[in-house]
Amino acid sequence: MTVSTTTGTSGASARWLRRPRPRHYPEVRLVCLPHAGGTAGEYIPWAARLPAQVELIAVQYPGRQDRLDEPCAQSVPEIADALVPALAPYADRPLYLFGHSMGGLVAYEVAVRLEAGAGPDPAGLFASGALAPHRVTPPREMLDDATVEADIRTSGWSDPAVFEHPELRELVLPALLADVRAVLSYHRRDPVRLRCPIVAYAGSDGAADVPAEAAAWGELTSGPAAWRQFDGDHFYVRSQQAELVADIEARMSNWGNSPVGHP
């Protein structure tokens, strides 16, 4: 499959955004943000599952794959600050934001900036496998690489194969460590309350109390809020891809027509 990088738009858009199936006149766009250490490629298969009226835009963070020669971002807000202008050429259609794990926090920060006047309000936010911003507690001190790597291994934030193959480790680990540090340093003591709907997703095998964490996300919107669990661990987004994409599509279709609640 040929992946377009936003030909004819700003350099920022070309660096940050991937459009696996470009649509000339979509009704809406779904912007997908990867987990720590993840890439835009995680979402390429989603495009085939979405109807023609929905254009998928996958975000590529710096420091990996075709952006390997760029320095990794140091914080979640830094990523959001760069993404908002990159998305500007595509804000002529309603933008829905989906983020998994770290991507959920980045999606929230993008939504905050859009609603503050940096662009049109987002049409909705899907936060997957992520604590609500005001529930994230950073460590008291900066952690060294060995400690961060140990936390990654035990938390299930990454595929274990990353640590088993030296060549893969050398390519992936720097971005993964930088991303995890960005998550660990992130916290909003007084989070901004959004106007757009929010849906929180999680895998059923995680350690988190999903109803409680979903309720926390609901505190961050004056609009409708909902949550849903899927069978699987933190990376249920892979094993339950078809069901998850179908759920997102259904909610995008229904928002604005009826209240969103627990399924």
Q: Is residue 4 part of a domain?
A: no
Mean pLDDT over 68-94 rounds to 96
Q: Note the pLDDT tens digit of each residue in 203-232.
A: 888 655 667 777 799 999 999 999 999 999
Q: What is the DSSP string of 169-220?
A: HHHHHHHHHHHHHHHHT---SSPPPBSS-EEEEEETTSSS-HHHHHHHHHTT
55 three-class SS: strand
At 94, which helix (H) or strand (E)?
A: none
> With 70 as the cut, is the pLDDT of residue 168 above it?
no
Give the model's confidence band at 157: pLDDT under 50 very low, under 70 low, under 90 confident, else very high. low
- Interatomic CA distance for residues 173 and 103, integer angstroms: 18
Q: Is residue 2 part of a domain?
A: no
Q: Which domain holds residue 47?
A: 11-254
Structure tokens at 70: 């760029």
Q: Which of 83-97, 141-155, 193-207, 212-226 has the lowest mean pLDDT?
A: 141-155
Mean pLDDT over 12-20 rounds to 95
Q: Is residue 87 part of a domain?
A: yes
Residue 201: count of CB within 10 angstroms of its CB: 26
Q: Is residue 262 part of a domain?
A: no
Q: Is residue 5 part of a domain?
A: no
Angle at alpha carbon of residue 46, lines to 45 and 50, rounded to 5° = 130
User: Catalytic residues, which ones?
Assistant: 101, 234
Q: 152 vs 219, which has greater pLDDT?
A: 219
Q: Is residue 18 part of a domain?
A: yes
- Interatomic CA distance for residues 249 and 83, integer angstroms: 23
- Interatomic CA distance for residues 13 and 10, integer angstroms: 5
Q: Is residue 156 part of a domain?
A: yes
Q: What amino acid is encoded at 4 in this protein?
A: S
- Counting residues of the chain whose pLDDT is more than 90, the rounded percentage is 62
Query: Based on the structure, what is the number of domains in the chain?
Result: 1
Give the pLDDT of residue 210: 66
In angstroms, the Cα distances linking 32 to 87, 128, 181, 248 are: 12, 11, 21, 12
Mean pLDDT over 97-125 rounds to 96
- Interatomic CA distance for residues 76 and 102, integer angstroms: 8
Give the pLDDT of residue 237: 94
> With 80 as the cut, is the pLDDT of residue 165 above it?
no
26 three-class SS: coil
Q: Is residue 259 part of a domain?
A: no
Give the pLDDT of residue 39: 94
Q: 88 vs 157, which has greater pLDDT?
A: 88
Half-sphere exposure of 150 (CA within 13 A, CB side): 5
> With 70 as the cut, is the pLDDT of residue 18 above it?
yes
* Average pLDDT taken over every residue of the chain: 86
Residue 93 maps to which CATH number? 3.40.50.1820
